[in-house]
Amino acid sequence: MAVFPVPRTLASRLLARTSRSFTRPSPANPLLRVACNSSSNKSGNTHCGDWSDLALFYKNARNYATATKKPAGRPKAHTGRAAASTKKTTPKKKATKKPKKKAVKKPKAKKAPSKTALVKQARKTASDLRAAALLEEPKQLPSTAFSVILVEEAKKTKAFAGSASAASARYKNLSPAEREQYNHVANQNKQQNAISYKNWVQTYTPLQIKQANNARNQLTKKAKAAGKKTRYATIQDDRAVKAPRNAYTFFFADRHLSGDMSGMSVGESGKLLGREWNSLSAAEKKPYNDKAEADRARYVEECRSVYGTEPVVRKQATKAS
């Protein structure tokens, strides 16, 4: 009996057409094997009944033997998983991180100062203001006859209430000779006061005296706001620069010098001159405006030379309603 390998396609056709016996293919040899009752003698005798099938079989067997390709293996069973893609994955570009903006720190809210701090600050401000006001002036001698007598009585009694009543009684009963003597002492004291006061003022610069007067004005306003009657007198300084005059003040002075306002009070003459000024034309006001302009130039020049500062002059200084 001869055994021939048969492909699966041919085996399926043989199984359908012949009753020959076939052997199952093994995993190592997937070809179907067929057994045929034939002999290899030269006589050519055979016991095969279906020669046509056998001839077809031989033909395919030879064709199969000449094939050089190896039989394909059994297809793998499908696992249900998707096949991995063979596409090359392009590397993703790294996203460039934007520089973070620096968070702007909010300024811390300043705490409200405590009451104690406010009191201390107010005291310091008042102390600085009083220091700038130059309140320590030279002591003044009594400059009137009554004040001279009052000082004498105060030295005797060492009590102001009693000395005031005693001084008042003495002053009323003075004889003409005694009154003349006390007036002479008072005049001498007045002259001495003027000399000592001027010497005290000269120890400071004109600018310091100006600043002291500004401080005194502020102290007076604060005392008035507090309901006090304290007043701080302006320091008299001959070196002080006089403020510039406007056009209306020149007009007011000229009209009073004319004598037309005689017999009138300041209020009455002021109302009359105000209406007269408003009725003047620009040409009639020009001489007074020129005087005001010249006086303003004088003020600027004196401030530069005396105080060493640039003054602030209002542009409307020459205009008046």
Give 37's DSSP letter: -
Indicate whether 199 pLDDT > 80. yes
Characterize 88-101 residue by residue with b for buried, 16 or more Cβ atoms within 10 angstroms of its Cβ, and e for exposed.
eeeeeeeeeeeeee
Tell me the CA distances in angstroms from 86 to 83, 89, 93, 179, 286, one per residue in order: 9, 9, 21, 135, 105
| pLDDT tens, residue by residue, 73-90 | 565 555 555 555 555 566
Place of tokens 């520089």: 99
The string of DSSP codes covering 131-192 is HHTT--PPPPPP-SHHHHHHHHHHHHH--HHHHHHHHHHHHHT--HHHHHHHHHHHHHHHHH
Candidates 285, 267, 296; CA nearest to 321 is 285
CA dist 252 and 99 (Å) reads: 75
CA dist 247 and 285 (Å) reads: 8
The two structure tokens encoding residue 141: 């001698």
CA dist 15 and 33 (Å) reads: 12
CA dist 178 and 145 (Å) reads: 10
Beta bridge partners of 32: 6
Q: What stretch of H or E contains 4?
A: strand 2-6
| pLDDT tens, residue by residue, 149-183 | 999 988 887 777 778 888 999 999 999 999 999 99
- The CB density around residue 296, as the number of other CB atoms within 10 Å, is 20
In the structure, what pLDDT confidence band is assigned to residue 285 with cuts at 50, 70 and 90? very high
Indicate whether 189 pLDDT > 90. yes
Residue 249 confidence (pLDDT): 95
Largest CA distance in the chain: 202
Residue 158 confidence (pLDDT): 74
Residue 78 confidence (pLDDT): 55
Q: Where are the beta strands (DSSP E) in 7-52?
A: 22-23, 32-36
What is the distance in angstroms between the CA of the first residue and the CA of the last residue of the chain? 151
At a CB cut-off of 8 Å and minimum separation 6, what does 7 contact? Answer: 31, 32, 60, 64
Tell me the CA distances in angstroms from 123 to 119, 127, 130, one per residue in order: 6, 6, 10
Indicate whether 318 pLDDT > 50. no
Residue 317 confidence (pLDDT): 44
Indicate whether 53 pLDDT > 90. no
Tell me the mean pLDDT in the region 197-213.
Answer: 96
Residue 161 confidence (pLDDT): 72
Indicate whether 321 pLDDT > 50. no
Place of tokens 């009083």: 130
DSSP 3-state of 5? strand
At a CB cut-off of 8 Å and minimum separation 6, what does 17 contact? Answer: 50, 53
Indicate whether 62 pLDDT > 80. no
CA 262 from chain center: how many Å? 62
CA dist 70 and 89 (Å) reads: 35
Percent of the chain at pLDDT > 70 equals: 65
The better pLDDT of the pair 107, 228 is held by 228
DSSP 3-state of 87? coil
Calculate the average pLDDT of the chain.
Answer: 79
The better pLDDT of the pair 47, 289 is held by 289
In the structure, what pLDDT confidence band is assigned to residue 46 with cuts at 50, 70 and 90? very low
Tell me the mean pLDDT in the region 116-134.
Answer: 89
Indicate whether 44 pLDDT > 70. no
